[in-house]
Amino acid sequence: MSTEQPRNPLHGVTLERIVTELVAHCGWARLGEQVNIRCFQIDASVASSLKFLRRTPWARQQVESLYLFMLREQTRKARAERQTPAA
């Protein structure tokens, strides 16, 4: 029984990878502004964030939404760079 989800960008992406990429992209401070939860604002770490996000569905949903937004922005930026003529 195969449950392929070719149009789901979150399929196969771990929560740890999502948090790690968001931190690399915007840092803990900005992440704490975007998603208002203490584990991003005070004594932030990937381990504490994962523990909280796994127990709190609304927070996980916000983090996943922010990750999808980040992916869309990266795709738009890449497309714009490809369409810009080289000098």
Is residue 1 predicted with pLDDT exceeding 60? Answer: no
DSSP string over 24-84: HHHHHHHHHHHS--HHHHSS--HHHHHHHHHH-HHHHHHHHHHHHHHHHHHHHHHHHHHHS
State the pTM of this model. 0.82
List of domains in the chain:
15-78 (1.10.720.30)
Q: What's the whole-number average pLDDT of the chain?
A: 89
Q: What pLDDT shows up at residue 2?
A: 53
